[in-house]
Amino acid sequence: MPTTATAAILREVNEPLTLEEVQVSDPAEGEVLVKMVGAGICHTDATGIDGTIPLPLPSVLGHEGSGIVEAVGEGVTDLAPGDHVVLTFGHCGDCKYCSRDRPAYCEMFAPLNYFGTRMDGTVTMSQGDEDVHGCFFSQSSFSTYAIALATNAIKVDKDLPLELLGPLGCGIQTGSGTVLNALNPQQGDSIAIFGMGGVGLSGVMGAKLAGCEQIIAVDINDERLALARSLGATHTFNAKEHKDLVWDIMGVAAPGVDFALDAVGTNEVIRQALEVTRSPARIATVGFQGLQHDITIDQGHLLLGRELCGVIEGDANPKDFIPALTRHYADGEFPFDKLIKTYKFSEINEAFEAAHNGSVVKPVIVFD
């Protein structure tokens, strides 16, 4: 029997989401039905609304869900009704890079996260005879009930504040994972992080966990920089107030930082992230500015042992990484809840506006 749910539906690009009744199918083989408790809003949802990533419509967004397993499909043995789960990105679990614990590079990443249907073409949500595309990031968690894969539903301890945990599935995993998994600084190293959105601020928390001695945060918003400082940044720079930003950063971190993280994605910021590093160094770019986006860099500068890499989803294996982040949170070493402001489901469009205008770092929808 399908489950009746309320979902936030995107009917047209650049239109507000509308809360409508949908039928959510029973979990198929390898799937779980989750009663949603919370869902974070991430930049990728906004790129779905504005058409930057093309989605089949009508569609249900939401890819940082947290909730309680209601039912499990055939073949699901590691989850049971009542389990608390954080929903992360969809991955197949057995391709080349899934097998190497790097599911962010799953060969099936696009179909499992963007195509709006199961791999067999069926939909998980409907309204009468009309299909509603409900497989966004193998979850579509802007709904009171959602279908996820057992592989992207990560079990977490029941004594944690479940309604706040969703962002660990994407934005917070991306920032902290890029530092801890892809850059992997050692105790005492230095890092510069550009862009203090949810990803960059999570990078700051990751750098603190790694024991970085100098954590340099860059943004154009003083409130964000103050938040970065409260999370572990040792130096902050407002890029608007520093005409010679690279020079000024080098002034506190000569002969340059060991690592840099670009959470903006513009050519200017990627160049700055490269230029503030010493030799050798590793620089990660995670900001998304559209699929075709040419940049220019100085090859002579790169040549001196500098590596520039792109990173998806923090190159994390969520099955281990999300529970690890929750343990750091419980120990008081990873206060990601400082980024969050909660909203009711009926306020979802206001929550998107707050993310868009920058007044809130990480809006999280809390379902009744």
Is 326:160 a contact under the CB 8 Å cutoff?
yes
Query: CA 111 to CA 96: how far, in whole Å?
Result: 16
Contact stretch for Zn ion (CB under 5 A) within 11-19, 91-99, 185-193, 227-235: 91-99
Among 3, 25, 44, 124, binds Zn ion (CB under 5 A): 44
Whether the Cβ atoms of residue 73 and residue 26 lie closer than 8 Å to each other: yes
Q: Which of 17, 36, 41, 42 binds Zn ion (CB under 5 A)?
A: 42
What's the DSSP call for residue 41?
-
- Closest to Zn ion by CB, 92 or 264: 92
Q: What residues between 252 and 271 interact with Zn ion by CB under 5 A?
A: none
In the complex with Zn ion, the residue whose CB is nearer, 95 or 252, is 95
Tell me if 281 sits within 8 A of 303, measured CB to CB: no
- Nearest CA to 308 out of 290, 285, 291 is that of 285
Q: Write down the least CB distance from residue 208 to Zn ion, Å.
A: 22
Measure Cα distances from 18 to 9, 67, 117, 176 in Å: 5, 21, 20, 33
24 touches Zn ion by CB under 5 A: no
Interface stretch with Zn ion, choices 23-31, 101-109, 180-188, 243-251 (CB under 5 A): 101-109
User: Judged by CB, which is closer to Zn ion: 109, or 145?
Assistant: 109
Q: Give the nearer residue to Zn ion in terms of CB position, either 166 or 185.
A: 166
> Nearer Cβ to Zn ion, position 164 or 257?
164
The residue range among 9-17, 94-102, 120-128, 285-293 that interacts with Zn ion, by the rule CB under 5 A, is 94-102
CA distance 218 to 269: 10
Segment near Zn ion (CB under 5 A); pick from 11-19, 85-93, 301-309, 332-340 = 85-93
Q: Which stretch, 66-74, 84-92, 277-285, 291-299, contacts Zn ion (CB under 5 A)?
A: 84-92
Which stretch in 34-42, 70-78, 126-134, 256-264 sits in contact with Zn ion by CB under 5 A? 34-42
Cβ(146)–Cβ(152) below 8 Å = no
Point out which span in 74-82, 86-94, 216-224, 313-321 binds Zn ion (CB under 5 A).
86-94
CB of 326 to Zn ion, least distance (A): 18
Q: Is the peptide bond before 81 cis (omega within 30 degrees of 0)?
A: no
Q: Tell me how far apart the 2 most distant CA atoms of the chain are, in Å.
A: 65
106 interacts with Zn ion by CB under 5 A: yes
Selected from 24, 32, 98, 160, the binder of Zn ion by CB under 5 A is: 98
Q: Can residue 10 be called a binding residue for Zn ion (CB under 5 A)?
A: no
* Burial class of 204 by CB neighbour count within 10 A (0 to 12, 13 to 18, 19+): buried
Asked if 45 contacts 63 with a C-beta cutoff of 8 angstroms, the reply is yes
CA-to-CA distance for 170 and 40, rounded, in angstroms? Answer: 9
Question: What minimum distance in Å lies between the beta carbon of 94 and Zn ion?
Answer: 6
Exactly one of 19, 71, 95, 209 binds Zn ion (CB under 5 A); that residue is: 95
C-alpha–C-alpha distance, residues 194 and 187, integer Å: 21
Read out DSSP for 121-174? S--SEEETTEEEB--GGGT--SBSEEEEEGGGEEEE-TTS-GGG-GGGGTHHHH
- Taking the complex as a whole, the smallest distance from the CB of residue 106 to Zn ion amounts, in Å, to 3
Site for Zn ion in 144-203 (CB under 5 A): 170
- Dihedral of the alpha carbons of 246, 247, 249, 250, in degrees to the nearest 10: 110
Closest CB 89 distance from Zn ion, rounded Å: 8
Say whether residue 92 binds Zn ion (CB under 5 A): yes
Select 3 or 151, whichever has its Cβ closest to Zn ion: 151
> Would you say 170 or 286 has its CB closer to Zn ion?
170
Binding site for Zn ion (CB under 5 A): 42, 44, 91-92, 95, 98, 106, 170
